Amino acid sequence: MRLNSPLYLLNLSLFCGTAVTKGKNCLVCIRPEAVSLKPEGTPAQHCAIKSAIYMRNHWEVIANWHGEELLINLSPESFEDSTGDAYLHFSKTGLCLLPNSL
């Protein structure tokens, strides 16, 4: 399955009990706590931080990931404002698949 990038693959076995038919397009829902930015990763995970706004209880980070603009909410302790490049990581929990027909 592709997720916004022809380079990034997710293992469908992580999504047990979904109502998505194998071989059909689907939507990937990602809870905010399932996303993190780290200093290391693969080229498929690389993103450029465009802006970051501190909101007291979280950071609102806008990142460019292979031509896609992402809004990422991060806890204050998990992000440094000086970060220019980072690597996008997804947790094995907090992700779900929905049929594309919704």
Going by the DSSP 8-state scheme, the letter that residue 7 receives in this structure is T
- What fold does the segment set 12-99 form as a domain? OB fold (Dihydrolipoamide Acetyltransferase, E2P) (2.40.50)
Q: What is the pLDDT of residues 60-78, one digit of tens each?
A: 999 998 888 888 889 888 8
**CB count in 10 Å sphere of residue 62:** 15
Confidence check: pLDDT of 2 > 50: no
Q: What is the pLDDT of residues 22-71, one digit of tens each?
A: 777 777 778 877 888 999 999 989 999 999 999 999 999 999 988 888 88
State whether residue 5 is helix, strand or coil.
coil
What is the structure's pLDDT at 33?
78
Mean local confidence (pLDDT), 76-96: 83
